[in-house]
Amino acid sequence: MTAHAPVVLDIAGLALDDADRRRVRHPLVGGLILFARNWQDRRQLGELTRELKSLRPDLLICIDHEGGRVQRLRSDGFTHLPPMRRFGALWSDDAGAAPGSGVLRACDAATAAGYVLGAELRACGVDFSFTPVLDLDHGASAVIGDRAFARDPRTVALLAKSLMHGLLQAGMANCGKHFPGHGFVRADSHVAVPVDRRSLRAILADDAAPYGWLRSCLASVMPAHVIYPKVDSLPAGFSARWLRAILRGRLGFDGAIFSDDLSMEGARRIGGRELAYADAALLALQAGCDLVLLCNQSSGGGAPIDALLEGLERARADRCWQPDAASEARRRQLLPAQPAPDWDALQRSPAYRRALALIG
């Protein structure tokens, strides 16, 4: 087993070049995240994922594919999944004959969406999607918006658990995001450094509540690039207090922790200064992340990716960071345990067809 492969990187195009192949074979690389630019059709994607697995059978092939406006694959047979807010609206609709019928319809539809999402991706060789969003819809955050199921944490937890059950039926793990909650702040961490000034007690009682309730079925968590100054001066994804003391210690989570994209503004400006990618990755790993993502840096030769890998190698040699066998085990637990379904067989499957009908 690889000692610890914490880096999740990306590629620039529809196929691998020699530099991509070299990076995928690097012992510190454990995952690759796909974007819409890496997609032409199912045949091309299948060829790409097969080559990736031929180079590294243990590579975790990931994508940010939630439904709604965050859906990377939208053609050649892929189902256009609704935003998660649609299921929250179903939950609130008790116009049916029996009280609570809206809740039942919402849970069934969310499970069906999770199954369709996971099964279609797996049929093209994708192992894992960063979903579901556990953020609450406070109405303030444009970047979260309709990606959130609802405002109420109980509704969010039960709908997320339903969607995660559908992913499990498809043989795919899950990722709750963005811990402890991104929905309360207006700023977008892609381009700014959001600050949430609420107390720890207020956050744990509201936005972070789903993480504790779902700890037995969450496979992984992605923390927010948000600063909560009444808890820590560092963003959650770089804070040992948030990740080790609160998420693992207080809430009892024992799955994998991913950093959010280290190229986002909320990850670059820490402590009043702009960090190099390698320094940001090191800080995230020291705080308790098992895996670190660096996205959209592969074009033009991918020098930022190489610099991050070289920086982590130096940190390991200097004993500023050491590979962690437990982190590697958590990474490998995200890999599918069963072979991927065949696309044509999936389309004929009664379970798949029933799921499509339930999504509506």
Catalytic residue positions?
Answer: 190, 260
Amino acid at position 132, single letter: P
Q: E-strand spans in 225-274?
A: 256-257, 269-270, 273-274
Residue pair 254/290 in contact by the 8 Å Cβ criterion: no
Neighbours of 292 (CB within 10 A): 30
Distance between CA atoms of residues 24 and 64, nearest Å: 19
Element housing 177 (H / E): strand 176-179
Distance between CA atoms of residues 316 and 193, nearest Å: 29
Residue pair 24/10 in contact by the 8 Å Cβ criterion: no
* Residue 316 to residues 100, 258, 311, Cα–Cα distance (Å): 55, 19, 9
For the record, the structure tokens of 126 come out as 């994708």
Amino acid at position 164, single letter: M
